[in-house]
Structure 1
Amino acid sequence: MAPTRQMSRPEESTLDLGEFTLKYRGDALPQPELLVIGKRSGRHKAVHTFVNILDNDGNLVRQAAITPDIASFIFGSFEVRGSTEAFNIYESDLVVGKWSPRTRTNVSPDLVRHQRTIAEQSFTATGGKLAHHWPIFQKLKETGFGSIIRATLTLHQLCSSNCPFCSTILRNKRDSVSLTEAQAFVSTLYNEQAALNRNEFVRYNEEYRRLTGTDIRLKGLILSGGGQPNLWPHFSEFVRWLGELDLDVGLITNGFPPKIAEDVYERFKWVRLSITPESASPFYPDGRFDRQYIPASLRHNDSLTVGLSYVYGPWTDDDMLKRLDASAHENGFRYVRLLTDCNLTRQAQLKAHQDLADRLFRLGFIDEVGKPLSRIFHQLKYHGSQREAEELWSDGQCKLQSYNVFWDTTGHEENGYSHCYPCDSVTVLADEQGETDISVSERRFNADKWGTVKSTEVHRLFTEPLQPFFDPRDICASCLFMNNNRAVSDLVKRASYGDMNLDTSLEHLNFP
């Protein structure tokens, strides 16, 4: 369908294009807003208030509010550049009022001021913890069967925020699962999988018990995904039920509904609070993230790990970074994880990482080589390349699905079931063969493209030999988990496992 524009007055305009409707509100307070609204039934929206202005080499010059002229420029380039790249604008293009393609300067990850720390490896999935589960990879090597030791559940698709970097903006608000379905899913991975390994894979199971103290089964479960898990009506009952299992449970949320009893959060091994751009979260008191309600059970609690997570982008100023660090100190939180917008293509993402690292250095949060000097750490997470994909996946098989499963509820309302995926980041895969050939992120879970098994058939991931449900070389070349895939590949290729050198300084080993 051809784009249509409707103008009501100079400071307000709309544009219908593909999956999205763009709406500019120049008189919005306290900042003009450009809304990216998904056309699917959820009608979720991303709120943008600033853009990055770049020089001809793609370096950040400044961050600018979205004026009517900038909004018009975005409308004109949105179809070609996509829902994320369109908000990175070259200053010379803005002067002439028209976007022009150019050759982008390549950025090597080695040029980013960064040092991987114990915190980054403990509190994020870098692949560093997989060696602590080596018997399941010996089992995979010698039998061809996977072992699902980690899972993530979305439960439903509700969220109170309108983040510009939302990875599932095209989701359906009515896609939700029942308590019975959630419990059955976990029981399959916990009880049925353990029984199978005790009976059918005795040698590997005994070795795993010696190493970890349990049968080969689900070890770590994360409640996360397409919305706030703690808005799900069965959240408290489910968490209390999980507390009866010998299972490490993590929570990723961007807020804490007051109706949830504070003791519920004590059932978690760790909690990560996602801090959104303040203009994107209507529940922040006075528009300030550091004035939101945080359960007393999470503040200064040494029995569980609590951290903050923040996505850096044109909505970020120095004050925000300072308040993030201060909030972690004031609440007794272990860390602040910073990363860039994963919807960006690889080179734009690495440029953003450079900008972030330079700003953190200037503010005194990291030293000249990227070592953290406070509670902030910078996660250097970026897309892979086609060359890496061809080398890593010569067999056409994603390695993550040998130990990890992500259950998203997309399609549940229509089908009565939904699908599993090898990871939670397929929705943000973005690739580029130059600025005029950009494969933009899908920003929704597409089972026909990345799905593995139905949620009602998760047992197939450990009762059947590992199989390639899709060829990642074709649709996942920009994978964000190349390191994890590489770690699995290296573990499977080992000639022996008796000389494993395990890093005992790492935490949260059941969330590899």
Structure 2
Amino acid sequence: MTRACSDRKLAAYTEGVSLSIKGRPLHTLAPHPNPTENGHELPAIFQGRQPSSMEHKFTSTGIKFWKHRESMESYKAGTGRTVISTHIAPEGRCNLKCSYCSVSERTLHSTIELPRIQDYVTKLRGRGLKAVILTGGGEPTLYKHFNELGEWLLDQGLEMALITNGTQFKRVSDRILRNLTWVRISMNVFKDWEKKIEIPRERFGPQTTVGMSVCYSAENKDPEFLRKVAQFAERAEVSYVRVLPDCMLPQAALIKEHEGLTELFKTLEGSTRFFHQFKIHGAPCQAKCHQSFFRPYLSEAMDPVTGRPGLVFPCDSVVLNEQAQRFRPRYALCTPEEILDYMDGKIPQQFDATQHCTGCVFTRNVDMLDRYVNGREDRFAEYAGTEVHHENFV
């Protein structure tokens, strides 16, 4: 990491103000560098930590970009065929209320019109789009046009994935479930959760990877809870269980939770399904969010200008900036109708990532893309002959 980059990161954090959320004071996020480049701000056990094989396989660690030479070279050349995947959060409603929800302050009854989503996807297909992740926002399967949207996406020849709380699979068509590339169930703690969360394994296709995600929070710290999750996962034959802390925590508390989770994982030795995802806050080393050109995020957030639901953001971690717990319009890239103008540079990014994206959990990816654009990193040859799991979901 360069000295200039380190200084910019420090400035991005120290210019902040104290915040509070639900009456709980939060301090300005402490600065931290990318742990793979300079780990002195982290506890010794995390210094130089590299993502595990499970993290590479089931999360966004950056390596999947190197399987997309055409998109990467197009970005460097400025020719606009950069898009690989997109997240779409069509619905603000949710049937659960989790204490650690990162978007709990969202507009709960905000729904994107189906034709707007279809137009957005059609535009991106012309720029290389290969895969769509349906997510929240609220619970995506509550979207009144969910089946129509999902089957339309399949008709476009796109890969599709789903992030859900797992309580509403009965609403989803057999065709959609049969053709999902992957589905991730966010495990939430509520009375009789193990009876109400359903994983209809027989309805998924043989290619569908089924995983679970658990937030290591006050409700979930008991080792007995994770043992119950392990039993549930075994019965449901899921491929993995991702465990990570509440990313809404301030940096120091977040790192402390990672330490506790590391100790807890020592009690899970022998379980090959569990993996610890290491996410901490940071700000990229450059003002421009390169990643937004490869995997934009269409949120159901309300456009303050038009009053219509639907704005495009660079990613979902912007909700961690300023601990907002919602998608703030200041981080929006454009409306879905304007997505190609953004891709072509006709609409400038309205924020400086080094100053404003202090909650970013994709710093590794953005900084890697910056090194590529500036000729300091090229790993195409390294991954050319390597199979990368779910490579279209960057």
**Interval containing the TM-score (normalised by the shorter chain):** 0.7 to 0.9
Question: What corresponds to 1:269 in structure 2?
Answer: 181
Question: What corresponds to 1:508 in structure 2?
Answer: 390
Distance 1:109 1:148 in 2: 37
Question: What corresponds to 1:12 in structure 2?
Answer: none
Shift, 1:497, TM fit: 6.1
Q: Answer yes or no: is 1:184 the counterpart of 2:119.
A: yes
- Partner letter of residue 250 of structure 1? A
Question: What corresponds to 1:71 in structure 2?
Answer: none
Residue 348 (structure 1) aligned to one of 234, 253, 263 = 253
Shift, 1:462, TM fit: 2.8
- Partner letter of residue 86 of structure 1? R
Shift, 1:402, TM fit: 2.1
Kindly name which structure, 1 or 2, has the bigger radius of gyration based on alpha carbons: 1
Distance 1:188 1:111 in 2: 45
Q: Deviations over 1:270-294 (max 9, x none)?
A: 100000122xxxxxxxx23222252
Distance 1:233 1:300 in 2: 21
Q: Answer yes or no: is 1:230 the counterpart of 2:141.
A: yes
Distance 1:397 1:161 in 2: 35
Distance 1:476 1:350 in 2: 18
Distance 1:466 1:297 in 2: 44
Q: 1:307 to 1:81 in 2, by over 3 A?
A: same
Structure 1 contact 136–147 (Cα < 8 Å) conserved: yes
- SS of the residue corresponding to residue 243 of structure 1 reads helix
- Partner letter of residue 226 of structure 1? G
**In the TM superposition, what are the counterparts of 1:189-268 in structure 2 within 5 Å?**
189-190=124-125, 192-193=126-127, 217-257=128-168, 258-268=170-180
**In the TM superposition, what are the counterparts of 1:115-194 in structure 2 within 5 Å?**
116-143=51-78, 145=80, 147-190=82-125, 192-193=126-127
Highest RCO, 1 vs 2 (Cα 8 Å, sep ≥ 6)? 2
**In the TM superposition, what are the counterparts of 1:113-512 in structure 2 within 5 Å?**
116-143=51-78, 145=80, 147-190=82-125, 192-193=126-127, 217-257=128-168, 258-278=170-190, 287-297=191-201, 302-316=206-220, 317-364=222-269, 373-384=271-282, 389=284, 392-393=285-286, 396-411=287-302, 415-429=307-321, 440-447=322-329, 449-464=330-345, 467-494=348-375, 500-502=381-383, 504-512=386-394
Structure 1 contact 228–255 (Cα < 8 Å) conserved: no
- SS of the residue corresponding to residue 296 of structure 2 reads strand
Distance 2:189 2:25 in 1: 15
Question: What corresponds to 1:196 in structure 2?
Answer: none
Shift, 1:489, TM fit: 1.6
Q: Deviations over 1:89-115 (max 9, x none)?
A: xxxxxxxxxxx9xx99x9616524976
- Partner letter of residue 442 of structure 1? A
Q: Aligned-residue CA RMSD in angstroms?
A: 3.0
Q: 1:300 to 1:170 in 2, by over 3 A?
A: closer
Distance 2:380 2:62 in 1: 19
Q: Answer yes or no: is 1:86 the counterpart of 2:21.
A: no
Q: Which moved more, 1:453-462 or 1:408-417?
A: 408-417
Question: What corresponds to 1:29 in structure 2?
Answer: none
Number of residue pairs aligned between Structure 1 and Structure 2: 364
Q: Give percent identity, aligned residues only.
A: 25
Structure 1 contact 171–444 (Cα < 8 Å) conserved: yes
Shift, 1:173, TM fit: 2.0
Structure 1 contact 262–295 (Cα < 8 Å) conserved: no
Distance 2:88 2:386 in 1: 28
TM-score by length of 2: 0.83
Shift, 1:117, TM fit: 2.4
Q: 1:341 to 1:107 in 2, by over 3 A?
A: farther
Q: Deviations over 1:356-393 (max 9, x none)?
A: 1101113436xxxxxxx4200000011015xxx4xx21
Question: What corresponds to 1:435 in structure 2?
Answer: none
Distance 1:139 1:174 in 2: 38
Q: Answer yes or no: is 1:111 the counterpart of 2:45.
A: yes
- SS of the residue corresponding to residue 459 of structure 1 reads helix
- Partner letter of residue 416 of structure 1? R
Shift, 1:87, TM fit: 9.0
Distance 2:371 2:66 in 1: 10
Structure 1 contact 412–418 (Cα < 8 Å) conserved: yes
Structure 2 contact 108–138 (Cα < 8 Å) conserved: no
Distance 2:375 2:206 in 1: 38
- Partner letter of residue 315 of structure 2? C
Structure 1 contact 146–465 (Cα < 8 Å) conserved: no
Distance 1:87 1:312 in 2: 20
Distance 1:400 1:230 in 2: 27
Structure 2 contact 165–197 (Cα < 8 Å) conserved: no
Distance 2:379 2:103 in 1: 43
- Partner letter of residue 90 of structure 2? L
- SS of the residue corresponding to residue 351 of structure 2 reads coil
